[in-house]
Structure 1
């Protein structure tokens, strides 16, 4: 009797059809601002939309910064000294210009690790300078119940 032995072989890893990339879970319908918008405009829009920050884009849709409630506070404090309830300062004056971004094609597990490491609650998702969306800690958390246990450990 002849036995055939092919040696140890690894079972091929099946590609998951689960949406596991940042691009599958990011928000794309974003409120954005322009560098020449006023802080008055930002405060009104953020209050109306119940958001705490937003990307700042140029005319071509490229990310140039982020503006947050904290950035707006700087103009509010300045308004106290000038004794005016108006906040005419520009977004460009107060926005964060060095923004940490995330590419759309990384896994949500790598994104989760970045959230923990950098202690940031949201990242703009950018490809070739263009703003595609935004991923937040909440987006990652909402994705978890949708994943199948059978392919969980393969990423």
Structure 2
């Protein structure tokens, strides 16, 4: 039986809640990754930030309300996309990260971790021990484990 501890990556890229999003984006590009686990100064899991979180933050649109002849119309936000992206780079990660993180422990089976990914439509699962990050299992790790164990 293959367990999470057998396939997890232990060299996990971590960031802190106050880190600017722009620094995280640079880290993603430098390391060729699409997510980082957010931990506090004591290493306690706070959240996860993914390329999807960044895309969602860019996509956020604030509606513009116009009151005309006692009727309210909602118009699309026409703010400049470049300005929005520039502003995003200075925002702290805690403003865009996913706070409700699906985790597993080191003793979880590969099937349990794969089930979490499928059920929650996520691409990675942080592995924790006593609320502390010890590893990360990505889809790729599971596929590699299956390939290694296929005759």
- Report TM bin, short chain: 0.7 to 0.9
Which residue of structure 2 aligns with residue 80 of structure 1? Answer: 81
In structure 2, C-alpha distance between the alignment counterparts of 1:81 and 1:148, rounded to whole Å: 48
* Coordinate RMSD, CA, aligned: 2.3
Which residue of structure 2 aligns with residue 122 of structure 1? Answer: 124
Could you tell me whether the CA contact under 8 Å between 2:46 and 2:99 is conserved in 1?
yes
Structure 1 unaligned residues grouped into runs of 5+: 1-17, 150-155
**82-91 or 25-34: bigger deviation:** 82-91
Matches within 5 A, 1:59-78: 59-74=41-56, 76=58
Could you tell me whether the CA contact under 8 Å between 2:58 and 2:85 is conserved in 1?
no
- Which structure carries more relative contact order (alpha carbon 8 Å, separation 6+)? 2
**95-104 or 109-118: bigger deviation:** 109-118
TM norm structure 1: 0.74
Which residue of structure 1 aligns with residue 139 of structure 2? Answer: 137
TM norm structure 2: 0.76
Count, aligned residues: 131
